[in-house]
């Protein structure tokens, strides 16, 4: 198979042996694989793949068709359309995933959309509902709202009956966020629209003070990314008097069973919304496998609405 390989700080396409599915695993002919911030970190040598994932093939999510199944597989058969979050190795013509973490692709979702769905929607769902226990009527601030997780989070919070303020620096992207039903604002104006019961923070330390200042009593701040910095000062008295909570999490480092639980929740609680077209998966741009370097460059530039996806025809 051909695969994207991280080599000396760059991404290139190389031939690799076809992987073989083990017990409970699917071999998937990948049709599309979304890019994520972690890919850029891995390219820079900063975010090694967890044990059990290919060490030098990046990619945290894909969609494709089951090409073979390992012993004991119960949930899928050859030919099924599937999509999944994986610890790595998604950006290749073939990939392995445990069937307990794979999701059936709804008919309403094209392959490039499905390739950009799993990571963003799983992180957004896990953060808003499993960690932050979002309730209808609450106020949510989604920072970096035009990114994959941002768009997913804004839509899921809206469907769940929350009021959503979506902050994004690029003014030209705000109209699209308003179309989802969010109030789209410049990051500098986000605090003025608070206080917030839940804040989704994918950017990191530079937003920490404003986030904490904007939390309501009983508010929950969820840190899901630190691309702009990891270290920041907090005021514990403020945290106490707000009776607030700061959550941190990543999906990638979790053990198989926790990823499977998160995937099952997405299957039950998000896929029906996708099938009913109540949430969408915006894709900003699609690149072929041979243009992977250009895809990474486009991803890094920012100012995009939704996902950058590699199209990998089998």
Q: Partners of 165 in the beta sheet?
A: 141, 183
User: Total residues contacting a second copy (rule CB under 8 A)?
Assistant: 30
Q: Partners of 92 in the beta sheet?
A: 3
The reply to whether 237 sits near a second copy by the rule CB under 8 A is yes
Instruction: Name the token pair of 286.
Output: 């699609």
Looking at the Cβ atoms of 170 and 253, the one nearer to a second copy is 253
User: What's the closest the beta carbon of residue 286 comes to a second copy, in angstroms?
Assistant: 29
The reply to whether 133 sits near a second copy by the rule CB under 8 A is no
The reply to whether 250 sits near a second copy by the rule CB under 8 A is yes
Classify residue 159 as exposed, middle or buried by CB count within 10 Å of its CB (0-12, 13-18, 19+): middle
The reply to whether 226 sits near a second copy by the rule CB under 8 A is yes
The reply to whether 125 sits near a second copy by the rule CB under 8 A is no
User: What's the closest the beta carbon of residue 237 comes to a second copy, in angstroms?
Assistant: 4
User: Which listed range, 55-63, 105-113, 155-163, 231-239, lies at the site for a second copy (CB under 8 A)?
Assistant: 231-239
User: Which listed range, 1-9, 78-86, 109-117, 246-254, lies at the site for a second copy (CB under 8 A)?
Assistant: 246-254
Instruction: Name the token pair of 247.
Output: 């959550």
Question: Quick check: helix, strand or coil at residue 219?
Answer: strand
* Cβ-contact 309, 32 below 8 angstroms: yes
User: What's the closest the beta carbon of residue 160 comes to a second copy, in angstroms?
Assistant: 21
User: Which listed range, 117-125, 180-188, 245-253, 295-303, lies at the site for a second copy (CB under 8 A)?
Assistant: 245-253
Among 44, 179, 188, 253, binds a second copy (CB under 8 A): 253
Element (H, E) at 230: none
What is the separation of C-alpha 126 from the centre of its chain, rounded to a whole number of angstroms? 10
Q: Partners of 104 in the beta sheet?
A: 82
Looking at the Cβ atoms of 174 and 220, the one nearer to a second copy is 220
Among 75, 169, 209, 254, binds a second copy (CB under 8 A): 254
Question: Quick check: helix, strand or coil at residue 306?
Answer: coil
User: What's the closest the beta carbon of residue 130 comes to a second copy, in angstroms?
Assistant: 11
> What one-character-per-residue DSSP string does 107-165 give?
TTS-HHHHHTSHHHHHHHHIIIIIIT---TT-EEEESSTTSHHHHHHHHHHHHTT-EEE
Looking at the Cβ atoms of 64 and 219, the one nearer to a second copy is 219
Q: Would you call the peptide bond into 65 cis, given omega within 30 degrees of 0 as the criterion? A: no
The reply to whether 248 sits near a second copy by the rule CB under 8 A is yes
The reply to whether 233 sits near a second copy by the rule CB under 8 A is yes
* Cβ-contact 35, 28 below 8 angstroms: no
CA distance 137 to 77: 42
Among 245, 261, 265, 273, binds a second copy (CB under 8 A): 245
User: What's the closest the beta carbon of residue 224 comes to a second copy, in angstroms?
Assistant: 7
Q: Partners of 140 in the beta sheet?
A: 164, 198
Instruction: Name the token pair of 5.
Output: 């390989």
171 contacts: CB under 8 Å, gap ≥ 6: 186
Looking at the Cβ atoms of 245 and 286, the one nearer to a second copy is 245
User: What's the closest the beta carbon of residue 246 comes to a second copy, in angstroms?
Assistant: 4
Closest Cα partner for 89 from 9, 16, 8?
Answer: 16
Site for a second copy in 181-210 (CB under 8 A): 204-205, 208
Q: Would you tell me which residues interact with a second copy (CB under 8 A)? A: 131, 204-205, 208, 223-224, 226, 230-250, 253-254
């Amino acid at each position: 198979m051909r695969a994207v390989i991280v080599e000396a700080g760059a991404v290139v396409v190389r031939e690799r042996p076809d992987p073989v599915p083990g017990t409970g695993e699917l071999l998937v002919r990948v049709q599309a694989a979304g890019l994520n911030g972690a890919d850029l970190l891995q390219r820079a040598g900063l975010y090694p793949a967890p044990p059990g994932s290919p060490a030098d093939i990046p990619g945290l999510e894909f969609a494709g068709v089951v090409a073979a199944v390992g012993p004991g597989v119960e949930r899928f058969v050859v030919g099924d359309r599937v999509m999944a979050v994986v610890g790595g190795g998604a950006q290749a013509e073939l990939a392995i995933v445990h069937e307990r973490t794979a999701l059936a692709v709804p008919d309403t979702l094209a392959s490039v959309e499905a390739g950009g769905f799993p990571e963003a929607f799983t992180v957004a769902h896990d953060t808003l509902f499993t960690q932050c226990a979002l309730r209808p009527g609450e106020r949510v601030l989604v920072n970096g709202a035009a990114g994959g997780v941002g768009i997913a989070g804004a839509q899921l919070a809206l469907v769940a009956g929350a009021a959503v303020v979506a902050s994004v620096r690029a003014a030209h992207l705000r109209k699209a966020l308003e179309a989802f039903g969010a109030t789209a604002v410049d990051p500098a104006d986000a605090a003025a629209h608070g206080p917030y019961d839940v804040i989704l923070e994918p950017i990191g330390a530079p937003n920490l003070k404003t986030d904490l200042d904007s939390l309501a009593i009983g508010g929950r701040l969820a840190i899901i990314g630190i691309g702009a910095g990891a270290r920041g000062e907090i005021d514990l008295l403020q945290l106490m008097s707000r009776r607030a909570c700061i959550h941190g999490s990543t999906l990638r480092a979790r053990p198989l069973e926790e990823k499977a639980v998160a995937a099952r929740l997405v299957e039950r609680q998000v896929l029906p919304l996708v099938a009913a077209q109540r949430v969408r998966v915006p894709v900003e741009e699609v690149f072929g496998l041979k243009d992977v370097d250009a895809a990474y460059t486009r991803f890094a530039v920012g100012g995009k609405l939704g996902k950058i996806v590699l199209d990998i025809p089998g």
